[in-house]
Structure 1
């Protein structure tokens, strides 16, 4: 049977751009004036406003349909983007062109892990806005084509009880993964080493829903310094090559964005290693983490290095004496990649059943509209049964998203 007849590509990391009515259609009237809303400024740009803050990058690197020579020019209006960025029906057509069957779509305006809502001054408004986004994600975006979209939700991570309640609510609605900060500590929250997150991990185990850690969702990205406002730029990938001293007394950072773009996998190396030595995986043996947009080539090295550290340094630190880090890595983590030839060459060291593919539409790392061609060429020397797991079966299994 021809490969295209039985292998479907499942992207575990795409992105959606929220259309202007996502929140105004859903928030109670009392929140409308302060809730997330699009305002057209004097230059004709579409700007997100939330409380007293503005978020100028509506597209966050939504460059699908542009050539590399045009990258770095962030969309300033919705008509600067192709409709597939913000229209779920149009996105399905773009997926058809790309040869992609299904996609899990992370947010843009809220930040990949809901960071914008965490920083809301009015936490009641923040919760209402987050729930509005979840409702949009599941009941509008994914409901447009239930066999093509994998429902993803966010949690109000500033309130553990509210997070548990929201986790249960979205699970009942059909959520298949939760996007969580790749490192909560930079956000001023307890680290992965804390038992604070235990109630959330309990629900994840109970429901079987994996936690997706998208690089940059914890607000820290190697190579990005503080912006002029003093906030870490994180997910706001601008075209500015030089970031000047923000008045804090720290020296200016002259590194081009190429540094951070090259080091993006470092976030997930940190996240995975943090969790390996946190003690939480032993307390939650059924917990599953997906390392979104983190690549896979580094995984064998981290497994080897973590084991070496464990073997020599566990005697004087609060480190589990019995659980070898490499074993925890293979049990609890799924690596996700866009293009990673080195990782594919070392796929057996990673684990054939622990690798998933990403398309990353509409970001600049995406190969759209040639994703199927690029993926097929990268798997030419990979046996069909292994390729099938990598492009489809692993994702369907971990996300509980069977073929219809």
Structure 2
């Protein structure tokens, strides 16, 4: 009988839509005109940042809408339900959905801040914008309900020294994870295999802050194209491919041996693919490890179960193979207010897909694994 009353759902992947005052309330006066602000263009609300316009993409805020009304067109704030951008309303929507706690990724900056601030020309302003988002998320959004909303931070990934400085700052403020590009390579940054990120991994390890890799946060999504003849569904189906790449990249990078306390969360990647990928990784490792600079003693599958956390929304196949993944390495995500979310029926759907899972395993999957990973204990 899964999802009994005592089972609290802790979602490791939800999203927030930034309200119009996030940066205007926090940037120094000299930057406010060029900082992110909402303007009206053609009857729509769009973000204006340092001379560039960014639409509010409708598909990012579909909670409460009929799928027939979904689309990529820009929307106004009044076209969204308030839980998208108002923390108090979000808590009410979580109560409707039967969700106790949620970790929320950014929207306008990109899932790891890379889509917007990494590409900005004025890096001083961009750095201040990163800090402003972190302060908003920790001091305003999550402070609304500290026992319900889990603090996450983004980083100025274009500068490793600034990354470390900002991570140390937000760790002191209570951040429970950082959102980092699922691969730095598409951004033109050093790969996971270099020593470039070592100072960051060291701080993450010392502070026990897991690295959340959200699919597409490195700016590349397989199948995504502006070509009119390619449906957006192609990229949506292939979301997990991003994190398959990230996982294999890190498994063979040597960084998990170098930083044995480093933890990686694979946000919005599903889990059904994990058993095959680990089988394939072990198969390749057995045959090719002798002539390459990789660990010759530990199977990739062993490393995975020490360092990675799989995350799923609605993954029947993955749950059927949960023991091949590791019961203590699976977490649940709700993805509100995005199109994959089952809101307002997330608890009902979770109960359905977990119907044949023993209660002790259900407790780990929906709650305690996430609390362990994020160091976010129950308060009641």
| TM-score bracket relative to the smaller structure | over 0.9
- Root mean square deviation of aligned Cα: 1.3
TM superposition shift of 1:57: 2.5
In structure 1, stretches of 5+ residues that fail to align are: 228-242, 245-253
Aligned position for 1:111: 110
Aligned position for 2:332: 357
TM superposition shift of 1:258: 1.3
Distance 1:4 1:308 in 2: 40
TM superposition shift of 1:59: 4.8
Q: 1:257 aligns with which of 232, 242, 247?
A: 232
Distance 1:327 1:51 in 2: 46
Aligned position for 1:322: 297
1:376 aligns with 2:351: yes
1:288 aligns with 2:263: yes
Contact kept, 8 Å, 1:17 with 1:59, in 2: the verdict is no
Aligned position for 2:316: 341
1:259/1:78 Cα in 2 relative to 1: closer, same or farther (>3 Å)?
same
1:400 aligns with 2:378: no
Distance 2:48 2:294 in 1: 45
1:90 aligns with 2:65: no
TM superposition shift of 1:58: 4.8
TM superposition shift of 1:397: 0.5
Q: Greater shift after overlay, 383-392 or 31-40?
A: 31-40
Aligned position for 2:15: 15
1:390 aligns with 2:347: no
Distance 2:176 2:3 in 1: 27
1:123 aligns with 2:98: no
In structure 2, stretches of 5+ residues that fail to align are: none
Aligned length in residues: 378
Contact kept, 8 Å, 1:60 with 1:108, in 2: the verdict is no
Distance 2:175 2:196 in 1: 23
TM superposition shift of 1:73: 4.8
Contact kept, 8 Å, 2:59 with 2:72, in 1: the verdict is no
1:331 aligns with 2:330: no
1:59/1:255 Cα in 2 relative to 1: closer, same or farther (>3 Å)?
closer
Aligned position for 1:180: 180
Q: 1:366 aligns with which of 341, 353, 371?
A: 341
Distance 2:86 2:74 in 1: 15
Instruction: Report the secondary structure of 1:179's partner residue.
Output: strand
Q: How big is each residue's C-alpha offset from its partner over 1:263-313, in whole Å with a ceiling of 9 and x where there is no partner?
A: 110100000000001111111111000000000011111111001111111
Distance 1:165 1:307 in 2: 37
Distance 2:141 2:57 in 1: 18
Aligned position for 1:221: 221
Contact kept, 8 Å, 2:2 with 2:358, in 1: the verdict is no
Distance 1:194 1:106 in 2: 27
Scaled by the length of structure 1, what TM-score is found? 0.92
Aligned position for 2:77: 78
1:201/1:59 Cα in 2 relative to 1: closer, same or farther (>3 Å)?
farther
Aligned position for 1:250: none
Instruction: Report the secondary structure of 1:310's partner residue.
Output: helix
Scaled by the length of structure 2, what TM-score is found? 0.97
1:2/1:368 Cα in 2 relative to 1: closer, same or farther (>3 Å)?
closer
User: Where in structure 2 are the equivalents of 1:241-256 lying within 5 Å?
Assistant: 243=227, 254-256=229-231
| Larger RCO (alpha carbons 8 Å, 6+ apart) | 2
Q: Which runs of 4+ in 1 moved over 6 A?
A: none
Q: How big is each residue's C-alpha offset from its partner over 1:314-349, in whole Å with a ceiling of 9 and x where there is no partner?
A: 122222211211111111000000000000000000
